[in-house]
């Protein structure tokens, strides 16, 4: 067993795959929002200056305009949600996992919000298995997630526990160091 500390830190390269997916989704939603707004503007220009100026004789145009407004609102809400997920993903960069073989502890430090920090310490005695999870883009940028299973002994029995460490750069190299 190693007698050292191994620090596993989330890196920009580690989150790159997920970040690219979220940015592409955000751009597609913004493009959809722009197209929907153009359709809305042309419908209102053609049938009336505002949604409320459409009369009952143009019932079909009224329904289509209302549906376009609902679609536009859905695009705006989706853009806000994706933007917040991108911000949350960038907060993952502050996550550090320290595996201290000398003290037999796994320490996970996370910054959840600008003024909130969470530190989680778990006792371990033996690492049983280290798995790697890589998606398509992760393989291209040599990043991924580690899934570590370990045993924690106490006076009565032992418990098998696990920890998921996402957005790690060079996961195969880190696996060789751990296992």
167 and 114 share a domain?
yes
Predicted TM-score of the model (pTM)? 0.74
Query: pLDDT-derived band of residue 149, with 50, 70 and 90 as boundaries?
Result: very high
- Write the pLDDT tens digit of every residue in 91-107: 888 899 999 988 889 99
Looking at 64, 91, 118, which one is the last position of a domain? 91
Q: Please tell me whether residues 78 and 105 are part of one structural domain.
A: no
- HEC string of the chain? CCCCEEEEEECHHHHHHHHHHHHHHHHHHHHHHHHHHHHHHHHHHHHCCCHHHCCHHHHHHHHHHHHHHHHHHHHHHHHHHHHHHHHHHHHHHHCEEEEECCCCEEEEEEEEECCEEEEEEEECCEEEEEEEECCHHHHHHCEEEEEEEEEEECCCCEEEEEEEEEEEECHHHHHHHHC
Domain final residue, candidates 91, 122, 154: 91
In contact, 31 and 38? CB cutoff 8 Å: no
Same domain, residue pair 132 and 174: yes
pLDDT for res 157: 76
Same domain, 109 and 65: no
pLDDT for the residue 1: 46
- Is the pLDDT assigned to residue 59 strictly greater than 70? no
> What value does the mean pLDDT of the chain take?
84
Whether residues 101 and 70 share a domain: the answer is: no
Residue 106 vs residue 154, higher pLDDT: 106
Q: What percent of the chain is modeled with pLDDT above 70? A: 90
Task: Quote the number of domains for the chain.
Answer: 2
**Residue recorded with tokens 């049983």:** 128
Which residue shows structure tokens 């940028």?
141
Are residues 32 and 79 located together in one domain of the fold?
yes
Radius of gyration of the CA atoms of the chain, in A: 25
**147 pLDDT exceeds 50?**
yes
Query: Do 174 and 99 share a structural domain?
Result: yes
Query: Where in the sequence is the domain holding 72, given as residue range(s)?
Result: 16-91
Residues 28 and 87 in one domain: yes
């Amino acid at each position: 067993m190693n007698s050292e500390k191994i620090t596993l830190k989330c890196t920009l390269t580690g989150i790159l795959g997920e970040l690219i997916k979220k940015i592409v989704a955000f751009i597609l939603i913004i493009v959809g929002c722009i197209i929907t707004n153009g359709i809305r503007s042309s419908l209102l220009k053609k049938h009336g200056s505002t949604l409320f100026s459409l009369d009952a004789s143009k019932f079909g145009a009224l329904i289509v305009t209302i549906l376009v407004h609902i679609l536009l609102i859905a695009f705006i809400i989706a853009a806000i949600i994706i933007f917040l997920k991108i911000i949350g993903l960038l907060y993952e960069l502050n996550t550090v996992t320290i595996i201290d073989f000398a003290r037999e502890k796994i320490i996970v430090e996370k910054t959840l919000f600008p003024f909130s920090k969470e530190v989680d310490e778990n006792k371990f005695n033996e690492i049983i298995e280290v798995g790697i999870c890589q998606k398509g883009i992760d393989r291209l940028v040599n990043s991924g997630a580690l899934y570590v299973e370990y045993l924690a002994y106490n006076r009565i029995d032992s418990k098998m526990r696990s920890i998921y460490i996402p957005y790690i750069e060079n996961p195969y190299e880190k696996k060789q160091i751990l296992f």
